[in-house]
A and B are shown apart, each in its own frame.
Chain A
Amino acid sequence: MTVPGDWQRLHRRTLAVTALTLAGLSLSIGTPIVLGMLRDDDKRAGSVLLIALAAALALTGGGTLMDRLRWRHTSYRVTDERVELRFVWVLHRLRSIPRERVRTVDLTANPLLRAFGLTKVKIGTGQQTAGEHSQLTLDPVGRAHAEELRRVLLDRAPAVPAGVAPEPARPPIAELDWAWLRYAPISVTTPLLGAAAFGAVMQASDWFDLQGAIFRTVRDLFGGLPVAGLVAVLLAAGLVAGFVGSLALFVEMWWRYRLTRENGALRVHRGLLTTRSLSLEQRRLRGVDVFEAFGSRLLGAARVDVVATGLRTRSDNARSDPKTLLPAAPMRVAHRVAADVLGASPLSDVDILAHPRAARSRRLRWALLAVGAVVAVLAALGALFTVVLVHLAWLAAVVLTPVAVALALDAYRNLGHGLSGDYLVTRYGAGSRHTVALLRGGIIGWTVRSSPFQRRAGLVSIAATTAAGGGEYVVHDVGESEGLSLADDAVPGLLKPFLAVPPPRI
């Protein structure tokens, strides 16, 4: 092992990174404030600038000093048994993780860290509930050292005896195919980014007091158009901005994407500006979730998420969501990657069984009730206040009913379950669709739920609880006997003592 077992400090260049970050932060916060104040009153320009400069200096200097204290008194070490991080100054804090509990090692480097040759290392254990205690962050260490740490911590393979040639590097499971770029714009990010672009333009122009000028320009350019035309032009502009934005986002996230397997661990490497590298121990794997977002599904594409213990389900930064193994890619590729990752192909082999018709009636009823509620509210308000809302109500009824019914029928068609080898497969979703393959050995309990309506229709929802991913994966609205048989077959012996054959109906 080349990582020494004694206490070492984090990388010294963290000070420069912190200083630059804080300087950038003060600049980006300070500029609009200063501009705003200057606009109000030009006479105090000098003093305002002076105060702003002093505040920025104080923030940067103070922050850097704090960071220096943190750096000075923080140290970490990797011994044969444990990874430890300690802070010893005024208060003493020691965080210690047994090495055999290390499940994930996550390397992240934003552009600034990369410029200084640094990387942030997150070392996680399999626990979901313990929160902060279950992970340890080294912020930052040198890039080469981080790679070394990752290799050492996740290397569970027995040492290769001298003289035996090392295992030849296997080809990656998946690499970025630029054709996948076509799935990027067809998602919710496009309209969101479009709206954000409008918001940003308005905000920035407000800072520089240019909002009026922008309105005038728009009016001069499109003054001849009717209102509908103007709305169409603005919508188109927003969509174009969103389109470009989502492409850029995809490039930033998935640049040089590679999914590889090394020493029994899966490794995802990706990112243009911020590089991310996630390593996941194979034996933490509990299955995969093949997710077809509505847009991707229309084009026959799917994303592959991993279901594994020790990954946060709610990441604090959704953009760097660590659970995605493969971005939206053609279904064939998604299935191949899923099979490669699992070492079995439950998704292609399984016979997915449909659910009883009663499940369809339930979904149709929900759809019609939802539309009915919207229409009723609009109609009631219309009757009280203005006749416009009444017209809106019947329009909504005409437009929404087919949409809701189509979604309900789709939701029913998507419902399905099955067993294939070591995996339990469940499929669900309206519009978008999830197909989850869950390792049967990873099921740590069952939850059977029924509402009064389900009991009348002879349906139950059966959830397989697991230590991984979302905590439970549900087979929705399955026939009671069928669902219980499925659960009994999936984990033999667990459910059996609690099942009973009801007396025959006469």
Chain B
Amino acid sequence: MSRSSRVAVSGGPTCCQVRPPFTVRSTVPRAPLAHATCRLITDRPRSCASVPVGESRQDSEPALAVPAGAVTSAARTSRAIAHARFMGRQDSGEGEEREVDEVRLRPPRNRVERRAVSYWLANELLTVFVPAAILAVLAVLIAPARPWLLLAMGVLLLIGVPYGLIVPFWRYRVHRWEVTDEAVYTRTGWLWQEWRIAPMSRIQTVDTARGPLEQLFRLASVTVTTASAAGPLEIHGLDHERAADLVARLTETAQANRGDAT
């Protein structure tokens, strides 16, 4: 049983979809019942309201994490010079290295739940072992095709098992998220990595989804969509109560930012 729900942010799409948990409805009520359903979808006991969203240092730390004061001033001057050069340069056609001051994206502050590793492990191994088991059964039953079926099973296990054992840990090291008053910031992927930033004022909908396996590990994922056709921001592997709080907070903040969101 998969539970998913969606809350429309005002100023977002006109027809908002509200699907309460435990019911599957093909038609959705048109009225944006954001306040009424917010409690409903989060479906959390009152005692959990104290669980904080994000780390406390999020708001107290200075915006730029700078190692030392001396470095800062040096970096600022070099930045100003580099910027002047950067803006005033002609198209040379050849890429000589320009001197631009060094900046990096810092990782988002929050890791996902440690349990997410177990969830990913279970998920990956299930997707390998179930087809492998089917192939094995077929190999027992169908004698003529046995070598080929066993070969297919062998290849599947050879690729799938190391993948399933390594990637979850790797993913856990990469996946991070952060929500500030201005923006949602996520990092996902493992070999190919993706950093995404969406400003609060452009958020259209905030969804949570929990698959059956995720429910087993008490996890949930949060999907934040903007008006862009390039796909939503997704935060996987959150504790499900924390996810509910996050959705409530995002919805609230995004509602405060009225506008067209395009």
Contacts and interface: CB of A to CB of B under 8 A. Distances in A.
A465 B227 CA distance: 9
A451 B192 contact: yes
Interface string A119-141: 00000001111100100000000
How many of chain A's residues touch chain B, expressed as a range? 35 or more
A446 B196 contact: yes
Contact of B100 (A126, A130, A481): A481
A482 B227 CA distance: 27
A354 B91 CA distance: 7
B198 A444 contact: yes
Contact of A127 (B13, B95, B98, B198): B13
A485 interface: yes
B199 interface: yes
Given A449-B194, A497-B180, A501-B64, A465 B95 contact: no
B191 interface: yes
A313 B75 CA distance: 43
Nearest to A313: B229
Nearest to B88: A351
Contacts of A412: 95
B63 to A, nearest CB: 5
Given A444-B202, A448-B105, A484-B104, A355 B95 contact: yes
Interface stretch (B66-74, B132-140, B155-163): B66-74
B200 to A, nearest CB: 10
A452 B191 CA distance: 6
A contact face: mostly helix, strand, loop, or mixed: mixed
Contact of B226 (A360, A467, A481): A467
B195 A465 contact: no
A488 B197 CA distance: 12
B3 to A, nearest CB: 23
A133 B226 contact: no
B13 A481 contact: no
Contacts of B198: 444-445, 465
B108 A498 contact: yes
B93 A413 contact: yes
B87 A419 contact: yes
B120 interface: no
Given A465-B228, A497-B180, A501-B75, A352 B91 contact: yes
B contact face: mostly helix, strand, loop, or mixed: loop
A502 B104 contact: yes
How many of chain B's residues touch chain A, expressed as a range? 35 or more
A467 B13 CA distance: 13
Contact of B63 (A465, A485, A497): A497
Nearest to B109: A498
B230 A465 contact: yes
Contacts of B202: 444-445
Interface in B99-138: 100-106, 108
Contacts of B183: 494, 497-498
A219 interface: no
A447 B195 contact: yes
A416 B105 CA distance: 21
Contacts of A98: 14
A191 interface: no
Interface string A466-478: 1110111000000
Contacts of B92: 354
A266 to B, nearest CB: 17
A484 B97 CA distance: 16
Nearest to A309: B262
Q: Give the most central of B94, B98, B104: most A CB within 10 Å.
A: B104
A13 interface: no
Nearest to A444: B202
A353 interface: yes
B172 interface: no
A346 to B, nearest CB: 14
B97 A356 contact: yes
A58 B194 CA distance: 57
Interface string A329-360: 00000000000000000000001111111011
Contact of A448 (B63, B87, B195, B229): B195
A129 B17 CA distance: 13
B55 interface: no
A224 interface: no
A362 B83 CA distance: 26
A281 interface: no
Given A448-B105, A499-B106, A471 B228 contact: yes
A281 to B, nearest CB: 12
A419 to B, nearest CB: 7
A500 interface: yes
A163 interface: no
B261 interface: yes
Interface of A: 98, 101, 126-130, 133, 309, 313, 351-357, 359-360, 412-413, 416, 419, 442, 444-452, 455, 463, 465-468, 470-472, 479-482, 484-485, 488, 493-504
- Give me the 4 closest cross-chain CB pairs, A-B, nearest first: A471-B229, A467-B227, A471-B230, A467-B262
Given A353-B86, A446-B196, A497-B183, 19 more contacts: A128-B227, A130-B15, A353-B98, A354-B96, A356-B95, A356-B97, A444-B202, A444-B226, A444-B228, A445-B198, A448-B195, A467-B261, A480-B103, A484-B104, A498-B108, A498-B183, A500-B65, A501-B67, A503-B71
Interface of B: 13-15, 63-67, 71-72, 74-75, 83, 86-98, 100-106, 108, 178, 180, 182-183, 185, 191-199, 202, 225-231, 233, 260-262
18 contacts: A127-B13, A128-B227, A351-B88, A354-B95, A444-B228, A445-B196, A447-B230, A455-B193, A467-B227, A479-B97, A484-B104, A485-B103, A497-B63, A498-B195, A499-B103, A501-B72, A501-B101, A502-B104
